[in-house]
Amino acid sequence: MNLGDLHKVWEIKALKRKPGEEEAKKNLEKIAKQVQPIMRKHKWRVKLLSEFCLNNPTLLGLNVGAGIHVKLRL
């Protein structure tokens, strides 16, 4: 087994909605593929890459703590 294969996005999840769910999932898959080399280099693993929707735009941002939660605004 190649250990480099462990450093990837393990699961991708889009919000349940019609229409747009399939397009959102495709975009998340593209993002996961683009960051794959960076993840391998730093030996990072992402359990779940998911789409999110917030009603309050001030809640978007970066929160790096013990659990390391990173939110990217695209």
Cα first-last separation, the chain: 34
Q: Tell me, what DSSP letter sits at residue 7?
A: S
Percent of the chain with pLDDT over 70: 64
pLDDT score at 61: 56
Closest CA to 31 of 5, 18, 12: 12
Q: Compare 4 and 46 and report the one with higher pLDDT.
A: 46
Number of H helices, E strands in the chain: 1, 4
pLDDT score at 30: 92
Average pLDDT, the chain: 75
Over the stretch 47-64, which tens digit does the pLDDT of each residue have?
Answer: 888 887 666 666 555 454
pTM of the model: 0.64
Number of other residues whose CB lies within 10 A of the CB of residue 71: 11
What is the enclosing helix (H) or strand (E) of 12? strand 12-13
